[in-house]
Amino acid sequence: MDPSQTDGAEKHAANAPPPEGAPASEPPSDLAAASITPVPTDERPVLKTLVLLGSARTSSAFWGGSSRLATRVGNFVQQALEARSTARHEITVWDPVELELPMLERPHFYYEPGTAPPKLDELARVVEAADCYVVVSCEYNHSIPPALSNMLDYFGQSRYAYKPSAICTYSDGPWGGMGAAVQLRSMLGELGCIPIQNMLRIATVSKVLDEDGGMVPGNGAGDWARRVDTFCAQLEWWAMAAKNQRAAAGRP
Ligand SMILES: Cc1cc2nc3c(=O)[nH]c(=O)nc-3n(C[C@H](O)[C@H](O)[C@H](O)COP(=O)(O)O)c2cc1C
pLDDT of residue 40: 55
Look up the CATH number of domain 44-249.
Answer: 3.40.50.360
Instruction: Please give the sequence-ordered ranges of beta strands (E in DSSP) within the chain, or none if there are none.
Output: 46-53, 88-94, 132-137, 165-170, 195-202
- Give the integer Cα–Cα distance in Å for 141 and 137: 13
Ligand 1 within 6 A of CB of 171? yes
pLDDT of residue 37: 54
Closest Cα to atom 2, ligand 1: which residue?
Answer: 140
| 201-237: pLDDT as tens digits | 999 999 999 999 999 999 888 899 999 999 999 999 9
- Closest atom of ligand 1 to CA, residue 56: 27
pLDDT of residue 56: 98
Long-range contacts, 72-75 (Cβ 8 Å, 24+): 72/205, 72/206, 72/209, 72/210, 72/211, 72/212, 72/213, 73/136, 73/168, 73/170, 73/202, 73/205, 73/209, 73/213, 74/136, 74/213, 75/212, 75/213
| 72-111: pLDDT as tens digits | 999 999 999 999 999 999 999 999 999 999 999 999 999 9
25, pLDDT greater than 60: no
**Where exactly are the structural domains of the chain?**
44-249
| 111-155: pLDDT as tens digits | 999 999 999 999 999 999 999 999 999 999 999 999 999 999 999
pLDDT of residue 219: 84
**Encoded amino acid at 237, one letter:** W
CA angle, 208 then 231 then 191, to 5°: 110
Mutate to test the pocket of ligand 1, among 66, 75, 135, 138 (most ligand atoms within 8 A of CB): 138
Ligand 1 within 6 A of CB of 75? no
- Kindly report the pTM of this predicted structure: 0.85
Mutate to test the pocket of ligand 1, among 58, 171, 182 (most ligand atoms within 8 A of CB): 171
Burial of residue 102 (number of CB atoms within 10 Å: 0-12, 13-18, 19+): exposed
CA of 207 to the centre of ligand 1 (A): 16
- Give the integer Cα–Cα distance in Å for 114 and 86: 38
| 33-62: pLDDT as tens digits | 444 555 556 899 999 999 999 999 999 999
Ligand 1 within 6 A of CB of 169? no
Ligand 1 within 6 A of CB of 109? no
- Give the integer Cα–Cα distance in Å for 64 and 197: 36
